[in-house]
A and B are shown apart, each in its own frame.
Chain A
Amino acid sequence: QSVLTQPPSVSGAPGQRVTISCTGSSSNIGAGYGVHWYQQLPGTAPKLLIYDNNNRPSGVPDRFSGSKSGTSASLAITGLQAEDEADYYCQSSDSILTASVFGGGTKLTVL
């Protein structure tokens, strides 16, 4: 059971918009800690996609965006492409656990 909760899977057709939710609690996301998102393509290491709720590292397309509200956060992907098919993880910090915490991951399927 992960500290941050994500849907196991989402899907969308090419060109569509999908969102992935990440729900935490008052000791992590709700405590004001930033939410960060990672993309893991099949057979590869994770890659930072969004940091501090809504910031994109250099090289990440603006089709990817993040938001945060209260104890939850979301990753949105617009103009879905076949190469977006991957696992996506949210991550934050937890004041009670004094630890970094990940969501369980969401598998995105491009139909």
Chain B
Amino acid sequence: EPEVTQTPSHQVTQMGQEVILRCVPISNHLYFYWYRQILGQKVEFLVSFYNNEISEKSEIFDDQFSVERPDGSNFTLKIRSTKLEDSAMYFCASTIRGDTQYFGPGTRLTVL
């Protein structure tokens, strides 16, 4: 069964550094998403992406964040200058029609 994959599984970085989290959505899916889950808190929506542009973003998704689909398979989330409070699990998701989203296993980001 096709799955969403994410790399790396764990990323440790110093505050102020840039990080890029990578996702490979399910191949025939058209809508892509990023979410984050701070330890012990709810899963929060960050951004949705369709037809090579952002279709919606939350207030969390400020100018420090950007997304890109650099080729036909990868979907990336860049955090330009990480802060301590960016430490969280980041989940990528995709869907073919926009109704039921399939999530990847997540990347744990630790900012020191």
Chains A and B bind each other? no
Q: Point out residues on A near B: beta carbons under 8 Å.
A: none
Q: Point out residues on B near A: beta carbons under 8 Å.
A: none
